[in-house]
A and B are shown apart, each in its own frame.
Chain A
């Protein structure tokens, strides 16, 4: 049933409202947009709407479906007018019914905001002077919208924001020359989570010229205790987009580029080459190795950090000959079961905050040319006893034995490009089954019980046991599944190394299926 309509005639609000009546709904909320008599100071006596109907209807349906899914409302509908309208006519109608009022208000608000941004509808304004003008749809509703946005919009035009860096330029080692260095710098931040929030915030505040932000995840409620840039109302949205909005709000002079998918072995070197410094802030060991390899090959310095419960590790990879990379210390990627994660092990919120603030400090020190006496060390930060221990990494004991960091990194990247064909994306597990895959649940027994898969798996093999039970994967094509895609990806690569080319991993794991709905 269609929930979005384009209508050449006046909206039948009673009919629309009645279609939202449902025994499960405890209330209903509607928004009406009306034609106003002025826009940007010009008197308007009417307007015409033109829509790219096919696209507008498809996009409108999608927006209403998103609102229903996102806020869990019982039902929602929207009608947008086309054709000629007079002052006071209704241009758009939105309604949502839900068990509780809050979801209804929020769904309604979501629909009108998204319609404003995404619908291919144009407005021709007829001015009282007899002139007329076409105005893009995004403009139309900005003028209709809530007043604070309107006021802010004009205020920003009247007085462009001028950042005040006096508190840092006062430092003798920074000064105006240092500030100019920061303004000319391009920094890529990979991961906009617990570590990334302080890194992005401090670098934006400091006036870095260009910030790149990479994060393929959407905000989850469980992130909020440590990811301080985000609001409860942001749940479900891409962190890269939220972070870019946060930077724009904090320091509009910073240029932001975002990637809403993780970098790959195929593109990481090229992307790194567009930046002066990379800060690795993911919770993913595979991403860390990819970053170390890409940093070494592109000669882009890298600041690594990772955390576990109440402690963290920090390493600066200079990406210069004779300086150690991450593989000099940890040559091979460890099994995901060995490294722990925030999900399984837990983490106190400020711990990534401290390590992220340290990464931001290292980044500024590097860009300003300040001394980094412990740059070649692994720094162990223990927030239980507040100790920091620096262990110098001897590059002579590292990749040198295997041809040097660059040769090791090139080989690792080439292997990773081959392995990327292992990760397959599906919106629904049924689709994978229909495509001929046998599903293997590689989570642990506790997860099988607490969070059953939406489709029954052909096999249940905990990721740590796939090698000893490799014989069970002999016939057919297998799709390994875990919560995030990490354990399944690692297990699939181990099996591939044993020559089993019929094994794949569900990209993003069960979490990705939930988002896709």
Chain B
């Protein structure tokens, strides 16, 4: 199991009900982790609609997870 720090923005923050949380996962990649979270947190957006960053750098979805990673999920927003 891997322990990661998650940060949510915009719609994801609203749906998760929190800006950040520590999460223990058996997922091996960012994509698997997000699919797990979609069920656990009720996210409506698919991964394709999002950007993901790990430790303050944008990342590809197939990146493997490491203990202590800080992972940020970012949806596009349009308000003005």
Query: Which A residues fall within an 8 A CB radius of B?
Result: 191, 193-196, 281-285, 288, 305-309, 311-313, 329-330, 334-336, 338-342, 345, 347, 352, 378, 380, 382, 384-385, 389-394, 397
Contacts and interface: CB of A to CB of B under 8 A. Distances in A.
A336 B78 CA distance: 9
B30 to A, nearest CB: 15
B19 A384 contact: yes
A283 B77 CA distance: 9
List 10 A-B pairs, minimum CB-CB distance, nearest first.
A283-B80, A308-B77, A308-B10, A339-B78, A307-B79, A285-B78, A195-B80, A342-B79, A306-B77, A338-B49
Interface string B1-24: 000000001110110000100000
Contact of A307 (B14, B51, B77): B77
Nearest to A193: B80
Contacts of A391: 53, 56-58, 72, 74
B76 A330 contact: yes
A447 to B, nearest CB: 18
A347 B79 contact: yes
Contacts of B72: 380, 389, 391
A382 B9 contact: yes
A191 B80 contact: yes
A195 B9 CA distance: 19
**B contact residues, range:** 20 to 34
Contacts of B56: 389-391
Interface of B: 9-11, 13-14, 19, 45, 49, 51, 53, 56-58, 72, 74-80
Contacts of B14: 309, 345
A283 B79 CA distance: 4
A338 B14 CA distance: 13
A284 B78 contact: yes
Most B CB within 10 A of own CB, among A193, A336, A380:
A380
Given A308-B79, A336-B78, A340-B11, 17 more contacts: A194-B80, A284-B78, A309-B10, A311-B9, A312-B79, A338-B45, A338-B76, A339-B76, A339-B77, A384-B19, A389-B56, A389-B72, A390-B56, A391-B53, A391-B57, A391-B58, A392-B57
21 contacts: A191-B80, A283-B78, A285-B76, A306-B79, A306-B80, A307-B80, A308-B9, A308-B10, A308-B11, A311-B10, A311-B13, A311-B77, A334-B76, A336-B78, A352-B80, A380-B72, A380-B74, A382-B9, A384-B19, A389-B56, A394-B58
Contacts of A306: 76-80
A281 B80 contact: yes
B47 to A, nearest CB: 12
Contacts of B80: 191, 193-196, 281-284, 305-307, 342, 352
A392 B53 CA distance: 10
